[in-house]
């Protein structure tokens, strides 16, 4: 009887210990699972933070480098423009010298006037020159020679009103509605893109 | 009968103690998880900041290299030989007067 009672008591205790162990094991399993889940989640978040950081870093670096490149490009272009400006100024000086030498300048002026006359669709045209050219060529056969060069029957007269120019002429129709600018300034302006390209080729070709 | 009642009490005590122990472990683990999470995120933030500083440094270095190179190129422009400048002016004159 006593032995049976002892066994029953032992069984009760043993059963509770077993159950306690099961509870403990289940809890530990749950905790480990929870830790693993939370760790994975934290690692995912951390990876995202690092990825974002790298993207941000790359962007910051590229921004810095881009700004410097832009600055460098502007400085280089600024200097190039300065050099080109100097060359154009030198060209303008040379044009003034060129216009002073009548033996070179007269044929040029003749051609410029002829081109102007041909370009103006009017039977009678007016040719305007600079004050200096008016003085130099007024009593010469400049217009006759220019007309002869055009091989047209147009009539041309010299305007008494001088124009502001280094050299060349402005040709207008009789009614003044059509005007062709054949001055050196106009030609320089017109040809500037081509001139700058040519000058750049000579100066900056590596 | 008394022995059985005592055994039942002991059994219940064991289970209660286990439950308390488990509750404590769960509580501790919750703190441990929070601490682990903080640690992982702190390390990530440190890496992010390090990467930013490193990128800033690399960017500054490259920017400096670009600036030095740009200065050299600009200086080279101001040293264009006079013969080349004359050649450029001559070429422009030829084009203008042709």
pLDDT in tens, A70-83: 999 999 999 999 99
Percentage of chain A beyond pLDDT 90 is 85
pLDDT computed for residue B3 by the predictor: 85
pLDDT computed for residue B96 by the predictor: 94
- Is the Cβ pair A75, B70 closer than 8 Å? yes
pLDDT computed for residue A170 by the predictor: 97
A15: closest CA of chain B, how far (Å): 8
- One pLDDT digit (tens) per residue for chain A, 206 residues: 568 888 889 999 999 999 999 999 999 999 999 999 999 999 999 999 999 999 999 999 999 999 999 999 999 999 999 999 999 999 999 999 999 999 999 999 999 999 999 999 999 999 999 999 999 988 888 999 999 999 888 999 999 999 999 999 999 999 999 999 999 999 999 999 999 999 999 999 86
- Residues of chain B found within 8 Å of residue A61, distances taken between Cβ atoms: 55-56, 58-59, 62
pLDDT in tens, B37-76: 999 999 999 999 999 999 999 999 999 999 999 999 999 9
- Is the Cβ pair A198, B95 closer than 8 Å? yes
Give the residue from B60, B40, B92 showing the smallest Cα distance to A202.
B92
- Is the Cβ pair A16, B62 closer than 8 Å? no
Judge whether A144 and A135 are in contact, CB under 8 Å.
no
Task: Report domain extents, chain B.
Answer: 2-97
pTM greater than the 0.80 cutoff: no
3-state secondary structure of A22: helix
Across chain B, mean pLDDT equals 93
The backbone region for A205, taken as left when phi is positive above 0, alpha when psi lies in -120 to 50, beta otherwise, is beta
CA distances to A84, A180, A193 from A200, rounded to whole Å, are: 8, 29, 10
User: Given the structure tokens 């399993």, which residue do they identify?
Assistant: A29
Assess whether pLDDT exceeds 90 at residue B92.
Answer: yes
CA B21 – CA B31 distance, rounded (Å): 15
* Burial readout A61-85 (b: 16 or more C-beta within 10 A, e: otherwise): beebbeebbeebeebbeebbeebbe
pLDDT computed for residue A139 by the predictor: 82
Domain A102-204 is found in CATH 3.40.1360.10: no
3-state secondary structure of A124: strand
Which residues, at least 6 apart from B54, have a Cβ–Cβ distance to it below 8 Å? Answer: A57
CA A85 – CA A142 distance, rounded (Å): 34
CB atoms within 10 A of CB A11: 12
Task: Report domain extents, chain A.
Answer: 1-100, 102-204
Which residues, at least 6 apart from A18, have a Cβ–Cβ distance to it below 8 Å? Answer: none
Chain A residues 52-81 within an 8 A CB cutoff of chain B:
52-54, 56-58, 60-65, 67-69, 71-72, 75-76, 79-80
Across chain A, mean pLDDT equals 93
ipTM of predicted assembly, 2 dp: 0.78
- Residues of chain B found within 8 Å of residue A30, distances taken between Cβ atoms: 26
User: Given the structure tokens 């699972």, which residue do they identify?
Assistant: A33
In the Cβ-directed half-sphere of A7, how many Cα atoms lie within 13 Å? 4
- Residues of chain B found within 8 Å of residue A95, distances taken between Cβ atoms: 93, 96
B2: closest CA of chain A, how far (Å): 10
Is the sign of the CA dihedral A34, A40, A45, A49 positive or negative? positive
Instruction: Kindly state the tokens that stand for B75.
Output: 């200086």
CA B92 – CA A194 distance, rounded (Å): 9
Judge whether B76 and A195 are in contact, CB under 8 Å.
no
DSSP state of A130: B
- Strands A179-183, A168-173: pairing kind: antiparallel
- Residues of chain A found within 8 Å of residue B11, distances taken between Cβ atoms: 12-13, 15-16
B11: closest CA of chain A, how far (Å): 5
**Residue A171 is inside which H or E element, if any?**
strand A168-173
3-state secondary structure B12-27: HHHHHHHHHHHHHHHH
DSSP state of A163: B
- Is the Cβ pair A80, B17 closer than 8 Å? no
Q: What is the DSSP string of B52-64?
A: HHHHHHHHHHHHH
pLDDT computed for residue A1 by the predictor: 58
CA A132 – CA B69 distance, rounded (Å): 50
pLDDT in tens, A109-148: 999 999 999 999 999 999 999 999 999 988 888 999 999 9
């Amino acid at each position: 009887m006593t032995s049976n009672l002892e066994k029953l008591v032992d069984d009760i205790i043993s059963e509770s210990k077993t159950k306690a162990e099961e509870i403990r094991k289940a809890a530990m399993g749950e905790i480990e699972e929870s830790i693993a889940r939370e760790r994975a989640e934290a690692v995912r978040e951390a990876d995202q933070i690092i990825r974002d950081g790298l993207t941000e870093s790359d962007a910051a670096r590229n921004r810095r480098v881009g700004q410097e490149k832009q600055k460098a490009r502007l400085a280089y272009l600024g200097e190039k423009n300065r050099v080109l400006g100097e060359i154009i100024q030198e060209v303008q000086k040379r044009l003034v010298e060129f216009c002073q030498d009548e033996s070179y300048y007269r044929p040029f002026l003749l051609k410029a006037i002829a081109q102007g006359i041909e370009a103006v669709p009017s039977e009678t045209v007016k040719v305007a020159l600079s004050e200096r050219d008016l003085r130099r060529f007024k009593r010469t056969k400049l217009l006759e020679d220019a007309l002869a060069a055009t091989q047209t029957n147009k009539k041309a007269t010299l305007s008494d009103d001088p124009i502001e120019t280094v050299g060349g002429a402005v040709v207008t129709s009789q009614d003044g509605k059509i005007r062709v600018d054949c001055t050196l300034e106009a030609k320089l302006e017109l040809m500037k893109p081509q001139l700058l390209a040519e000058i750049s080729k000579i100066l900056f070709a590596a | 009968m008394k022995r059985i009642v005592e055994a039942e009490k002991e059994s219940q005590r064991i289970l209660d103690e286990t439950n308390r122990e488990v509750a404590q472990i769960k509580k501790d683990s919750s703190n441990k998880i929070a601490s682990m999470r903080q640690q992982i995120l702190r390390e990530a933030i440190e890496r992010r900041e390090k990467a930013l500083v490193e990128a800033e440094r690399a960017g500054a270095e490259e920017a400096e290299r670009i600036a030095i190179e740009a200065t050299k190129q600009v200086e080279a422009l101001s040293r264009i030989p006079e013969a080349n400048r004359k050649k450029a002016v001559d070429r422009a004159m030829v084009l203008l007067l042709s």
